[in-house]
A = this chain, B = another copy of it.
Amino acid sequence: MKIAVMGFGTVGSGVYRVLEENKELIAKKAGEEISIKYVLDLREFPGQPVEKVLTHDIQDILNDDEVGAVVEVMGGTGAAYTFAKAALEAGKHVATSNKALIAAKGAELMEIAKAHQVSLLFEASVGGGIPILRPLNVCLTADRILEIMGILNGTTNYILTEMTQKQTAFDVVLKQAQQLGYAEADPTADIEGHDACRKIAILSTLAYGKTAHFEEIPTEGITSITQKDIAYSKEMDCSIKLVGVSRSLPEGISAMVYPMILPNVHPLSGVSGAFNAIFVKGNMLGDTMYYGSGAGSLPTASAVVSDIVDIVRHKNEHIPMDWDTTQKLDILPLDEVPVRAMVRIAAQNQTEAEKEALEIFSGGRIMDLAEADDEFAVLTGEETEASLAEKIAALGQKYEIRNRIRMEAKA
C-alpha cells in the first residue's frame, strides 16, 4: 500500500524513519509492503531523502488513487481537520496522532469514515507509543470499565518528578524543562492540564462508547503545587501526580483532570520522569496498567505505524469501534463528584483552627508537618466537590487556605 504523510515534524519524520528502518518486518506484519508516496509539508528539505516525495499541495494526495491511507501528524484543528476530512471523503483511511483533532472532531470524522467504509485510527493520540486505545477496543471486551486513571502528560510528570526528587520549586524546574526540550516555550497546554484533558476525553469516549466533550471536563493543572504539598504527600507515603480520571460511579460517569495525592503502593505512583501510564480497572479483570513513552518521535511514530499496519490488514473495510458517535457522554456535574482532599490551613490560633476544621470536615483527620509549623493540613473524609468547596470557603472566612489537593480514596 502507498501512503501519504501530512506533516514532517517530530512525529512525521519518525513515521518516515520507522517505515524505513523496519521496512521488511512491517511488510511481513501487514501482509504487503508499505511505502510513502508523498510527504506534505510547507517547508523545503533540501538535500534530505524526504525531498523526493515532498509535496506542498494536498490535492496531489487527494487525487492520487494509488494512495490508500493518509497519516495526519500536523497537529491542531485547522488544516489538519480540513485535510483529514478531505482524505476520508476521498475514500482514504486516516491514522492520526492528533489528540486535539480527535477530541474536537473525532465523532464527525468517524461518521465520515464509516460512510466511506474506511478507517479512522488514532492510537498515538493518547499515551504516545503505549498501546491503549486498541487494547480498550479489542482486549478489554469482557469488562465493564470502572475506572481509567492516566498519567497522560510527560512534561508535567517530568516536572513533578524533578520537584519531588530534587526539592526544587515549580518555576525553576519548568525553566530547566524548557531548556532541555521537555517543555515548550509556551507550556500552558501542558502545565494547565489542557493536553491531559483531551486525552482523558478520548479515553472516556472509548471506554463508555459515547462522545465525551472535552470542554465539559473540569481541568486543573500543576502550577499551584509547592514543595510543602510534596512534603505532606511524602509524609503520607504518597506522590503527587497530574492525572486524568474517568470513573463509572453509581451517580454517572465522572471525568476530571487534576493533581492527585496517590499512595506509593498505587502502580501509577512509580511512573517517573517523562513516562506515561494508564491504569484501567475492569469489573472482572480488576486492575491493569499500561506503561511507556508518552511522547517522542519514534515511540509516537511506532503507534502511528501500528495503525497503518491495522489499516493494511483491513484495507477494504471500516475498522469498527464501540463508539456511538450520535450519542453524547453525559458527564456528572462537578458538584456531585465524590472527593477527598488534603486542605492546608494557616491560622494564628492553630489549636482552635484544627478543632474547627475537624468539626466542619467530620470524618477527617489533622496532619502536622515538622517543617511547616505555621500551618496544618486536614485530610478530609469523603465529600462531594460541592461540599468540599463550601467547607473550604467557610474555613477561608477565618483562616488562610494555602492549598487543597485531591487524594485517592485509598490514600
Q: Which of A129, A134, A142, A143 has the most CB of B within 10 A?
A: A142
Decide: B141 and A284 in contact? CB cutoff 8 A: no
**A356-377 interface (Cβ within 8 A of B):** none
Q: Does A286 lie at the interface of the complex (its beta carbon under 8 Å from any beta carbon of B)?
A: yes
- Closest residue of chain B to A269 (Cβ to Cβ) is B270
Q: Pick the contact of A131 from B123, B140, B310 — CB < 8 Å?
A: B140
Q: Does A22 lie at the interface of the complex (its beta carbon under 8 Å from any beta carbon of B)?
A: yes
Decide: B142 and A135 in contact? CB cutoff 8 A: no
What does the 1/0 interface line of A250-286 toward B look like (CB < 8 Å)? 0000000000000001010011100101000011111
What does the 1/0 interface line of A126-159 toward B look like (CB < 8 Å)? 0001110011001111111000000000000000
Decide: A22 and B285 in contact? CB cutoff 8 A: no
Decide: A22 and B144 in contact? CB cutoff 8 A: yes
Decide: A286 and B291 in contact? CB cutoff 8 A: no
A180 to B375, CA, bound (A): 45
Q: Does A408 lie at the interface of the complex (its beta carbon under 8 Å from any beta carbon of B)?
A: no
A26 to B271, CA, bound (A): 32
A104 to B29, CA, bound (A): 25
Nearest CB in chain B: distance from A202 CB, A:
16
Decide: A139 and B143 in contact? CB cutoff 8 A: no
Q: Which of A18, A141, A287, A305 has the most CB of B within 10 A?
A: A141
Q: Which of A17, A130, A290, A322 has the most CB of B within 10 A?
A: A290
Decide: B270 and A299 in contact? CB cutoff 8 A: no
Q: Pick the contact of A284 from B143, B270, B298 — CB < 8 Å?
A: B298
Decide: B267 and A284 in contact? CB cutoff 8 A: no
Q: Does A387 lie at the interface of the complex (its beta carbon under 8 Å from any beta carbon of B)?
A: no
Q: On chain A, which size bracket covers the interface?
A: 35 or more
**A18-65 interface (Cβ within 8 A of B):** 18, 21-22, 25-26, 28-30
Q: Does A380 lie at the interface of the complex (its beta carbon under 8 Å from any beta carbon of B)?
A: no
| A298-B285 contact, Cβ under 8 Å, with A135-B131, A144-B25 | yes
Q: Which residues of B contact A129 (CB under 8 A)?
A: 282, 284-286, 288
Q: Does A306 lie at the interface of the complex (its beta carbon under 8 Å from any beta carbon of B)?
A: yes
Q: Which residues of B contact A271 (CB under 8 A)?
A: 267
Q: Which residues of B contact A298 (CB under 8 A)?
A: 284-286
Q: Does A205 lie at the interface of the complex (its beta carbon under 8 Å from any beta carbon of B)?
A: no
Q: Does A117 lie at the interface of the complex (its beta carbon under 8 Å from any beta carbon of B)?
A: no
- Closest residue of chain B to A310 (Cβ to Cβ) is B138
| A29-B141 contact, Cβ under 8 Å, with A285-B298, A286-B299, A299-B286 | yes
Q: Does A302 lie at the interface of the complex (its beta carbon under 8 Å from any beta carbon of B)?
A: yes
The 8 closest A-B pairs by CB, nearest first: A131-B139, A142-B305, A288-B292, A289-B291, A141-B309, A284-B302, A285-B302, A29-B141
- Interfacial residues, chain A to chain B (CB-CB below 8 A): 14, 17-18, 21-22, 25-26, 28-30, 123, 129-131, 134-135, 138-144, 209, 265, 267, 270-272, 275, 277, 282-293, 296, 298-299, 301-303, 305-306, 308-310, 322
Residue pairs across A and B with Cβ atoms less than 8 A apart, 13 shown, are A18-B284, A22-B142, A129-B288, A131-B135, A131-B139, A135-B139, A138-B138, A141-B305, A142-B309, A143-B302, A282-B302, A284-B298, A289-B291
